Structure 1
Amino acid sequence: MPQPIPADVREKLSLLAKEHHLDVHGGRVRRSSSRFCLGVEHGDYNGTELFGVGTDRFIWLAYKPNQSGRVRLASANFPEDGLVDFPVTQPPAPGETPDSWARFPYGVSYILQREGHKLGGGFDAVLYGNIPGGGMSRSASLALNLIETFLECSGVEGVVGMPVVELAKAVENDYIGSPCGNLDQIMIYFAKAGMGTHYKPSDGSVDHVPLPDTADEFRLVSLDTGTIRPGLEKSTYKVRAAECAEMAELCRGPFGIQTLGDVKTVEQYNAIRDAFNERAPHLVKRLKYIFEAQQRFDTMLSAWRAGDLTTVGQVFRQDGYGLRDDYEISGPELEAMCEIARTVDGVLGERMLGGGDKGASGAIVTPSAVEPLRAAVNDQYPERCPDYAGKQNVHSCSVVDGLTLCEGL
């Protein structure tokens, strides 16, 4: 059964369609979720296993095929960009577009055709999202939503599973210029309500891990710092990805590894640390985070299977310390949120989320802790980070499906 659309979202989409004379009524609405990574953050480009969930901050895209052969769409989140309008088969080439959200529909058209998918169906569309910027994968959510829409409106069938993930990753890597891995796309595309998604790069498998009925209730909370994070191509993320690739290359010959995720044993880690600590201490620190996060991964996964959210939270917190101290990809506002969260009873664990530097931190909390956490953030964050006073936000999230068709407008 199609999911209902919140009344305020329906109104925003309808008004936007009317403003730009877009014919979407009687069409479909696709909803794509955000994501919350429980481990290993930054593990995707390092070859580790991944685990996370879809969360209920969404992008809604209302669309309807047209007969013009053109894609015409507008975003309620970026009204200053107006109407994006181009022939479905003729997007601008990479690097020929301004730095705006319009790069995503252009990029989807470009990548789909590059990969041999025949496009021909134009469509009108309007979209609106309430995913916080930075940390919950707004860009991956948008790319996946658009890919499904382009394929459907052109009558392209049979593109499902990991190929869709790889297409979304290619949009960001090859068109946008963002050096992301595939964690965000996997965690959104495969997300199922009430379940965690477990990805194993060794065989490309995806498993869904339900929480037992005995698990206590909990909430996943996004702690939006109000900061604006530039794209990953302009952030510390790009530097860390390059550093990890450099460390893997240094180890390839003497230690026979391809990625940092291949370092599985204490003996391996100690040998690499001893070999490179004097020569490249910063690279050893990057490996230290990945190695220790992998060591904690099975503990976290077992705790999730057992419904032990206290242990899941403890692992989440320890990962946060590693991201802060060893991976060095957090930021002052992100850590201010974590420090505030640690003062609130019922917060089981907290750390920065996503690409780093700016954006949002996250916390795993008991339901009764949500409002005390919100009050603590609103009371303390403006003092700690006065440049962003009043821009902070606290979003309490549940575990949901990643891609869903909703009621039409």
Structure 2
Amino acid sequence: MSTTEQQALNELAKLAQQSGLQVSGGKIRRTSSRFCLGVEHGDYNGTALFGVGTDRFIWMAYKPNGTDRVRLLSGNFPHDGLVEFTLGTVPSPKSAAIADTWARFPFGVDFILRRAGFKLEQGFDAVLWGNIPGGGMSRSASLAINLLLTFFEVNGLAPRNEMDVVDLAQAVENDYIGSPCGKLDQIMIYFAKDGMGTYYDPKNRKISYVPLGQGALDFRIVSLDTGTVRPGLEKSTYRVRRAECEQLAALAKPDFGITCLADVKDAALYQKIMAHFGPKYPNLCERLDYIFHAQQRFYQMMDAWKRGDIETVGRIFRQDGVGLRDDYKISGPELETMCDIARAVPGVLGERMLGGGDKGASGALVRAEAVNALQAAVDSAYPRSRPAYADKYAMHVCRVVEGVKVLPGL
């Protein structure tokens, strides 16, 4: 057992003892974070997706309690205290009562499952602890998936199809919480396999697994946590960018026949739309500029991954970062400070912001022998550039792991 896994079990045991929640003899469900290799912000624009599960997790120890009540305690949000509710009696969606509490996730899972026709009768006790950074590695999707699978299990239920958990987890955030997320995070966590890349084809909503080609150089996936915390997609630039992309797709549909920006794959069509809408909607066209070119690079990246050409994967990862910063305008100052530091370190193959944007974490693909140099550079430069976060930032060297795993209980 790893040191981190043991720390998680110790935290869960401590929470159970402090709260009196009855989880001994139950199970522990562990859900991962994710690292997107492409196309970041492509999910709600209709592009194909590729990424991996990474070893920053949420652990939840749980056990049915023989009642119709759910009782939970999170070690990451201790000020919220014990969250307790009767199944079927949760606050209204998007209400002020849930705006600032992590309890909106278990409330949302109850609401969405009932709305979908699932019958919930069995409550449970649970304690949770996690080490996923507060932005960029999909903590919210990991939590929603963990809770959904637990509600399913203790009530003797099962998803209706392969994508059901993904769709339900998205609905928790979209329809109950009010966060306009796509499906990227849920897909990359729920379907993640140890040592494999996960490819999602939006045309047929199918998953396939892509091994890294033989002969790839020894590299590491690194998350650069800026110490900042994004308040939620519903309160971020993400909401604005998504609305802009949907606006341009709607404007272009009558004359150009597209339903989403990913439909613009042909260079001639791209040029026509840019020429037509550029003078009046330059900001919307910048969003298309990023999606179009990122989609072109995506297939180059996939070919490179299959060949084991991590240098090319890293170069494209870096190019996507420039597009996210300059064309999509979804990054943030602390995220770009981390990228600037990483870019100057020999052996860093590529770097960019991760996730929804504004705050949270950047990411990098790094030669194994350059990891220590990157850590030294971050430790030296980031606190000087961002002194407000000098005691909050962190660098996480990640492994590619299974997205969902059930472990023996406490």
Query: TM-score with structure 1 length normalisation?
Result: 0.98
Deviations 1:82-125 (A, max 9, x none): 10011123222211424111100000001000000111111000
Q: Is 1:78 aligned to residue 77 of structure 2?
A: yes
Matches within 5 A, 1:323-362: 323-362=324-363
Task: Provide the rounded CA distance (Å) in 2 between the counterparts of 1:57 and 1:369.
Answer: 21
Matches within 5 A, 1:3-402: 6-94=5-93, 95=95, 96-402=97-403
Q: In structure 1, give the amino acid aligned to 2:34.
A: R
2:165 aligns to what SS in structure 1?
helix
Contact 2:26 2:408 in 1 (8 A): no
Contact 1:346 1:365 in 2 (8 A): yes
1:126 aligns to what SS in structure 2?
strand
Deviations 1:310-358 (A, max 9, x none): 1000000000000000000111111110000011111110000000011
Superposition deviation, residue 148 in structure 1: 0.1
Task: Provide the rounded CA distance (Å) in 2 between the counterparts of 1:332 and 1:146.
Answer: 33
1:206 aligns to what SS in structure 2?
strand
Task: Provide the rounded CA distance (Å) in 1 between the counterparts of 2:158 and 2:368.
Answer: 42
Gap runs ≥5 in structure 2: none
Task: Provide the rounded CA distance (Å) in 2 between the counterparts of 1:213 and 1:273.
Answer: 40
Q: In structure 2, give the amino acid aligned to 1:182.
A: K
Contact 2:54 2:398 in 1 (8 A): yes
Task: Provide the rounded CA distance (Å) in 2 between the counterparts of 1:88 and 1:151.
Answer: 13
Task: Provide the rounded CA distance (Å) in 1 between the counterparts of 2:243 and 2:64.
Answer: 42
2:50 aligns to what SS in structure 1?
strand
Q: In structure 1, give the amino acid aligned to 2:31.
A: S
Superposition deviation, residue 160 in structure 1: 4.8
Gap runs ≥5 in structure 1: none
**How many residues were matched structurally?**
408
Task: Provide the rounded CA distance (Å) in 2 between the counterparts of 1:129 and 1:285.
Answer: 37
Deviations 1:27-48 (A, max 9, x none): 0000000000000000000000
Deviations 1:259-312 (A, max 9, x none): 000000110110111111111111110000000000001110001111111100
Task: Provide the rounded CA distance (Å) in 1 between the counterparts of 2:150 and 2:112.
Answer: 14
2:98 aligns to what SS in structure 1?
coil
Q: In structure 2, give the amino acid aligned to 1:242.
A: A
Task: Provide the rounded CA distance (Å) in 1 between the counterparts of 2:2 and 2:214.
Answer: 24
Superposition deviation, residue 159 in structure 1: 3.6
Q: In structure 1, give the amino acid aligned to 2:404.
A: L
Task: Provide the rounded CA distance (Å) in 2 between the counterparts of 1:111 and 1:244.
Answer: 27
Q: In structure 2, give the amino acid aligned to 1:33.
A: S
1:399 aligns to what SS in structure 2?
coil
1:301 aligns to what SS in structure 2?
helix
Task: Provide the rounded CA distance (Å) in 2 between the counterparts of 1:347 and 1:301.
Answer: 19
Q: In structure 2, give the amino acid aligned to 1:397.
A: C
Query: TM-score with structure 2 length normalisation?
Result: 0.97
Superposition deviation, residue 391 in structure 1: 1.6
Q: In structure 1, give the amino acid aligned to 2:18.
A: E
